[in-house]
Amino acid sequence: MDKTIDKYSQASAVDPQAMLVPLVLAQFLCSFAGTTMNVAISSIANDLGTTVSGVQTAITVFTLTMAALMIPGGKLTDIWGRKFCFRLGLLVYGAGALLAALSQGLPTLILGYSIGQGIGTALLIPPVYILATIFFLDIKSRARAFGAISAAAGIGSAAGPLIGGLITSAASWRIAFVLQTLIALIIIFLGRRIVDPGVQAAKPRFDMTGAVLSAAGLFFVVVGILTAGNYGWLRAEQDVIIGNTVVIPQGGISPLVVFVLLGVVLLGLFFRHIRSMEQAGKEPLLPPRMFQNRTSNLGLVTQNMQWLVLLGLSFVVSVFLQTVRGLSAVQTGLILTPATIGILISSMAAGRLAQRRSQAFLIRWGFIITIAGVILLLIFARATSSVWSFVPGLFLVGFGVGVMLTSSVNVVQSSWPEEDQGEISGLSRSVSNLGSSLGVAIAGTVIVSSLVTGNEGYALALIVLTVFAVVGLIAAILLPSIQAPGGVEG
């Protein structure tokens, strides 16, 4: 009991603003890793003797690993401690980045970047949001903390192409991974004074069955979508061969259908498993009640759609500029800079906006602005148009996403009491990263789809992303408008 009191007194003595710095940098680093590869697709493919689809797979598996392991990572945070998981995640992340920098083939790149950095991120991100929730107790300060972290996520994703392009053009894409290792070590140093008051309850048991079922279900759904690029959407356009055996002949059912159905079955078994565990008085990986809060569920949908559109758009535009327009990594990164500027401007204003308008209002208008930006890209940014035609659309997409990122996180996290922050943080980050993974998988598959010819894949991918943005807008419209602190109801 005395130790618990001592921990809380230490926590209260820590300057929350100083503690926020490593948390913000950690979120920036993980989000940066999700897009910095986009502008180096051609260079990586040439160096490693693979294809654009191979690099797309590596990027997708990175975000998929985060999505699949974020909920288990949130649970381990409650078992091992927030600070321990934060530091362990950074160490694993840094080691994975170093392995990726030294890779000589696609398998090693996937092992270091996709698996290593993905596992590291799944361990370190849940503590970021839990610690921010614990150390910032009032609504306004917590909103500012989430605003800084969410802004770092958006800016990291948007700035990744520019920074990655500069590094790739000036030196090598490998240096970008070395840089990530160094940043991870710096964050560990900066976070040494973080005080973790610990979980004030009995430590939960780890639900291995639930972890396996949820991870496997998400894996098969996303991998199934990835197979559509080579094998088609409904019917197999070529033989599916494992070893020397044709498991699905040409004209048979597409692997996409098989994998997605298997994933859905596994996810169904996961939900059945957590319900049965709770009924038996045991503690499941994720309490079923996490899916019974209407406001939180709608907020999760908006999070998923935001990241799906942002990461999908970044990948599609990067591939289009490099493979169709023949631009270099640095040129591609520079063209994508307006999105970074848009996110930066709107994120800086997020705190003031939150005091004047409701979270739901900001999320709705964020989606409306984002949809307008994607439509502008569809209309004006073509194979023969000036590179300046990309600026308005990319800026609006960045600005729109920046407006709603913080609000969506606030809606979800604030829907639950402190004792549920571990679970909802893991679920929230999992849903966001699943959106990132689906964005790259779906948009990347559509852009090389056999449904279209020539450069029409770019247009089709943007149309698909617009549809998903509309889904996010519908979820935002259904959100209740809660009066903002000191502001008006939206």
Q: What is the pLDDT of residues 378-430, one digit of tens each?
A: 888 676 777 788 899 999 999 999 888 888 888 887 888 877 776 787 788 78
Select from 3, 426, 414 the least CA-distant residue to 210.
426
Cβ count near 115 (within 10 Å): 20
Amino acid, res. 433? N
Are residues 471 and 305 in contact, defined by beta-carbon separation less than 8 angstroms?
yes
Residue 63 banded pLDDT, cuts 50, 70, 90: confident
- The token pair at 176 is 């970008």
For residue 245, give the H/E element and its range: strand 245-248
Q: How far apart are CA 29 and CA 160, in angstroms?
A: 9
Select from 223, 251, 233 the least CA-distant residue to 449.
233
Question: pLDDT (tens digit, 9 = 90+) per residue, 25-41?
Answer: 999 998 888 778 877 88
If one compares 472 and 198, the residue with the highest pLDDT of the two is: 472
Predicted local distance difference test score (pLDDT) of residue 486: 36
Q: What's 253's DSSP letter?
A: B
If one compares 116 and 194, the residue with the highest pLDDT of the two is: 116
Residue 390 Cα distances to 1, 86, 387, 458, 462, angstroms: 60, 38, 6, 13, 13
Which CB contacts under 8 angstroms, 24+ apart, belong to 332-335? 332/38, 332/39, 332/161, 332/165, 333/39, 333/161, 333/162, 333/163, 333/164, 333/165, 333/166, 334/162, 334/165, 335/387, 335/390, 335/394
Predicted local distance difference test score (pLDDT) of residue 250: 83
Please enumerate in sequence order all residues whose Cβ is within 8 A of that of 7, keeping only pairs 6 or more positions apart, or say none: 195, 196, 197, 198
CATH level 2 (architecture), domain 13-206+285-478: Up-down Bundle (1.20)
Residue ranges of the alpha helices (H) in 280-349? Answer: 294-319, 329-335, 337-348
Predicted local distance difference test score (pLDDT) of residue 139: 64
Predicted model pTM? 0.80
Dihedral (CA of 113, 115, 119, 125) sign: positive
Q: How far apart are CA 490 and CA 488, in angstroms?
A: 6
Amino acid, res. 300? L
Predicted local distance difference test score (pLDDT) of residue 14: 58
Predicted local distance difference test score (pLDDT) of residue 302: 96
Residues facing residue 240 across a β-bridge: 248
Predicted local distance difference test score (pLDDT) of residue 455: 64
Predicted local distance difference test score (pLDDT) of residue 8: 44
Predicted local distance difference test score (pLDDT) of residue 489: 38
Q: How far apart are CA 12 and CA 42, in angstroms?
A: 50
Question: pLDDT (tens digit, 9 = 90+) per residue, 154-190?
Answer: 788 778 888 888 888 888 899 999 999 999 999 999 9
What is the mean predicted confidence (pLDDT) over 327-340? Answer: 84
Are residues 14 and 122 in contact, defined by beta-carbon separation less than 8 angstroms?
no
Amino acid, res. 318? S
Sorted by where each begins, the domain ranges of the chain are 13-206+285-478, 207-284
Are residues 391 and 35 in contact, defined by beta-carbon separation less than 8 angstroms?
no
What is the mean predicted confidence (pLDDT) over 311-323? Answer: 85
